[in-house]
Amino acid sequence: MAKQQKYFTPVYTDILATGSLKEFSECFGKSVLTALAKNEPAIRKILKSLTSIRPKISIDPLSGEPSVGFTVSNDQ
């Protein structure tokens, strides 16, 4: 039987105790890093893919409310 290639790394985290987006982000980030520490090549792939994410910050001209968005660029 041929060895099956692993495409995904499962990440388990308990978000019940998180009360804000910041707490969730910290909890999830720690869980991801812990899960990927066991599989170093996956970390390199993720870091490489993160370089293609471009943040976009804009302000609504009518309300003055800021907004944050992200786009993915294939430019390398």
**The pLDDT value given to residue 48:** 74
- CA dist list (Å): 62 to 10, 56, 70, 73: 43, 18, 22, 29
The H or E element that residue 54 is part of is strand 53-59
**The pLDDT value given to residue 1:** 53
Give the residue with greater pLDDT, 3 vs 69: 69
User: Which residues have C-beta within 8 Å of that of residue 15, sequence separation ≥ 6?
Assistant: 24, 27, 28
**Model confidence pLDDT, tens digit, residues 32-73:** 888 877 766 766 777 777 777 788 888 888 998 988 887 877
pLDDT over threshold 60, residue 76: no
pLDDT over threshold 70, residue 2: no
User: In the predicted model, what is the mean pLDDT of residues 1-15?
Assistant: 72
**Domain spans of the chain, in order of start:** 21-72
